[in-house]
Amino acid sequence: MSVYDKYETVIGLEIHIQLATDSKAFCSDSTTFGAEPNTQVSTISLGHPGTLPMLNKKQMEYAVKLGLALGSEINRESRFDRKNYFYADLPKGYQITQDNLPICIGGKIDLRVENKIRTVRIHHIHMEEDAGKSIHDVDPKNTLIDLNRAGVPLLEIVTEPDLRSGEEVEELMSNMRQLARYLEISDGNMEEGSMRCDCNISVRLKGSSEYGERCEVKNLNSMRFAKKAILFEQKRQIDLIESGGKVIQSTLNFDPVSGKTSVLREKENAHDYRYFPDPDLPPVVLSEEQISKIKSELPALPHVLLTKFKDQYQLSHYDAKLLTEEKGLALFFDQCCLQSDNYKGLANLFINKLNPFLNEEKMNLSDFPVTAEGLVAFVDLIKDGKVSSAIAYQRLFPALIESSEVEPMALAESLNLIQSADEDFLSKIVDEVIAANPDKVKAYQKGKKNLIGFFMGQVMRSSGGKA
């Protein structure tokens, strides 16, 4: 047993989700990604004297949506605070956030890792605004600042230290992204920075009931980096403890190039953010009606659909997981299943043909021309043995997309794709194939039994795919 096996890693996350609102958290500046730098910056974004921030109602609604989906308690009254610090990309000198009275408390999310279900508790969710962006790699001599992102609305989800590995962190982030997309509160795009996380990492001897001293790795915007940072940190902390040292609580930076973490600041030098209630923003008050309205508008959630697909449609976990990855596809599949109990046939079509087709064509599901009825009729043709599945996928499917108004059976007939179970038709082709390949027949008779595949291929070809 290696020394590392004696330890367990403990991880808690602070996840930032950028909300897909049209305007910023406290003013009407646009949030469009990729605009010319500093073109979406008003005096309110900059916190100029005399300007007043005003809460974007959507941010509050989105926070409640996420809270309800995660089973959090929604605070009927929450407050905004100022978190004071000086940094070039924060010209106001403070970030508007929620400190001790956040909008959502508690909740949980279930993960499935290596076939085991793990529950991760949510500590709270709060609303805040993003800072601007410092750009270090464009001008060789100067740091450039783009303030378009300053004031963009964020939700921060803080988990309890319930995670135990990089794989669990990855699964949690992927579930969170999926949930944000289902709820349509964020595109969850990590590459564009719409989702990022801080990883708090500590180690302890297995079986210990106390947590070890933790370090916080800031701003991980890719799961690959997060997993690397966790691996690096767990080894570093264990090595340190094993050699008689002590982990010092600190904030770390992860360098993707070296794969190492480095200290930004230690606890003693931690910022005193001098939080205080923002005097410009009134408390956020939610009525019961507002909350029930948001609740009644929640879409079907991914884990609910997953369970339904497994229990009601008898699909494997693997198939159900693939089919619930994205809300549109999941709901379309569900709609098809209302009209046919050929669940497995539909699942195969969605997983092996429809989804790859949409990806290849970069087509939105909303632009896909075939209706649920059409797809149900399509898989029934295969199930009833009217069209072979190979021919259906290769020839009928593209034809159906071209002529989506035509009924699949009629289309298959007009394309002469109907499979023949007619014995005379078959034996005639078989005889022909045997007659045309005397050498192969001899070889087969002498024992080269795997030639059967060759004969079957020939028969399928001669029948134009109908046999």
| 134-163 residues near ligand ADP, rule: CB under 6 A | 158-161
CA distances from 309 to 174, 331, 333, 335, 465 (A): 20, 11, 9, 12, 33
* Residue 130 Cβ vs ligand ADP, minimum distance, rounded to whole Å: 18
Q: Which two tokens stand for residue 209?
A: 């009931």
* Residue 233 Cβ vs ligand ADP, minimum distance, rounded to whole Å: 10
Nearer to ligand ADP, 199 or 358 (CB): 199
Sheet strands (E) in 64-214: 73-74, 77-78, 81-84, 94-97, 104-105, 108-113, 116-129, 133-135, 144-146, 153-159, 195-205
Nearer to ligand ADP, 211 or 276 (CB): 211
* Residue 215 Cβ vs ligand ADP, minimum distance, rounded to whole Å: 8
| 265-294 residues near ligand ADP, rule: CB under 6 A | none
Q: What angle do CA 64, 65, 67 make, to 5 degrees?
A: 60
176 near ligand ADP, judged by CB under 6 A: no
* Residue 178 Cβ vs ligand ADP, minimum distance, rounded to whole Å: 20
Q: State phi, psi for 81 to the nearest 5 degrees.
A: -125, 160
Three-state secondary structure call for residue 132: coil
For residues 202 to 221, the per-residue mask of contacts with ligand ADP, x marking binding by CB under 6 A and - elsewhere, is: x--------xx-x-------
CA distances from 32 to 40, 41, 88, 395 (A): 9, 12, 22, 42
* Residue 189 Cβ vs ligand ADP, minimum distance, rounded to whole Å: 23
CA distances from 17 to 14, 69, 88, 221, 252 (A): 10, 15, 22, 11, 21
Three-state secondary structure call for residue 75: coil
| 178-207 residues near ligand ADP, rule: CB under 6 A | 200-202
Residues 233/222, Cβ–Cβ less than 8 Å = no
* Residue 65 Cβ vs ligand ADP, minimum distance, rounded to whole Å: 22
The footprint of ligand ADP on this chain (CB under 6 A) covers a number of residues equal to 15
Nearer to ligand ADP, 15 or 379 (CB): 15
Nearer to ligand ADP, 19 or 122 (CB): 122
* Residue 163 Cβ vs ligand ADP, minimum distance, rounded to whole Å: 8
Residues 200/5, Cβ–Cβ less than 8 Å = no
| 8-37 residues near ligand ADP, rule: CB under 6 A | 10-14
- Contact footprint for ligand ADP (CB under 6 A): 10-14, 158-161, 200-202, 211-212, 214
